[in-house]
Structure formats: structure tokens, C-alpha cells
Amino acid sequence: QQQQQQLLQQIDSNISPIRKLPSRDVDKSVFSLDLVKIENGEDQRKTIMIRNIPNKYSQKMLLGAIDEEFRGKYDFFYLPIDFKNKCNMGYAFINFISWLDIIPFAYRFRFKKWDRFNSEKVCELTYARVQGKDELVQHFANSSLLSEDKKCRPLLFVSDGIRKGEPEPFPYSQPGQPLSRQYHFDFGEEE
């Protein structure tokens, strides 16, 4: 129980400790969404895992469903793809700009069947292991995913200002150097 208390304190201080602990040592309830705690400001984590996505959903289809109500409310999205069969792996990650936007998102998607492909799968939402846009950028900065087809890459969006919600390039780090807070952006040619 003392370890759980320490874990919750680290989460509150915006550190991503879960990544550092072996998964068997982590109480799975740490990942559960509690909408009352979110509404009361007791849980301000922003990155969630969308689970039980039908494998035929593409990034474009899933973002289309999300953007109907939540465009401009998130600044990171990633739908992992199985490169062998070109289908998604059944889960995605989204980082909300405000933790409060998780509440309407949960009401819209949580425990609901998916609209397409006559799927019996029911959407589940949990907190992600890696939390926050900066942590997610650090996590993926040196990933080989960034050299894959654009439909398979993590996506970043502007978090505030006049361009809020617009796509932004994914930063990369210089070889042998960690990504600093001042990102290096790849403004490669658009396809």
C-alpha cells in the first residue's frame, strides 16, 4: 500500500512512474477512469487508452468519429498498426488538452458499441501508462514509427492559440542526443 501511495504521488507531480515499474507490480486500478474524481479535479491525467477498437478501423475513420465532437480538444493521437496485416491493434492513445474533456469523451464512447463493421466490441477507456504530450513526444521521438507511412505514425496537434487543433510536425532528436524541451521539427515534404 505504501508503494501505491508513492505511485499516486508521483502521478500527481506529473511524472510518469508507471513506465519505470514492472507491470506485475502495478495495481491495475491505477489506470481506471473515475469521472467523479476527474470532475472534482482530483485526477488531472490527460492521456487515455481507447480499447477494443475493431481492427478494420483506420486512423482516418477513428479520427473522423472522434472529431465529430472533440476536434481541437486533444494534441496527441496514435493508433498502433500491425504492419504485417495492415490492421490496427485494437487500441489507441489520445492526450486531451484539458483533463475535463475526458468526461464528455467518456460519455460519448465508453461502454458503447462501435458504429462500423457490425462489431460486437464495446469501447473501454483507461488511463495510459505514459502521460502528457511532452512524455509522449519523448517516448516516440526516436521511434522507427516516424519513418513509416504517415497513416501509421503518432500524430501531434497544436495545443493552444489560433492554430489549436491543427496538425503539427512530430519532433525528432539528434542522433545520440535526447530530445530537449525545445523540439527539433522535421518539416519534410507533404505527400
Confidence class for position 105, pLDDT limits 50, 70, 90: very high
Confidence class for position 179, pLDDT limits 50, 70, 90: very low
Please calculate the CA angle 188-189-190 and round it to the nearest 5 degrees.
115
Nine-digit cell at 108?
A: 460519448
**Across 11-20, 100-109, 152-161, which has the greatest mean pLDDT?**
100-109
Nearest-angstrom CA–CA distance, 172 and 185: 6
Nine-digit cell at 27?
A: 495495481
Length of the chain: 191
For 68, phi then psi, to 5°, come to -55, -35
Confidence class for position 106, pLDDT limits 50, 70, 90: very high
Nearest-angstrom CA–CA distance, 106 and 33: 9
Largest CA distance in the chain: 52
Q: Which helix (DSSP H) or strand (DSSP E) does residue 156 occupy?
A: strand 155-157
Confidence class for position 34, pLDDT limits 50, 70, 90: confident
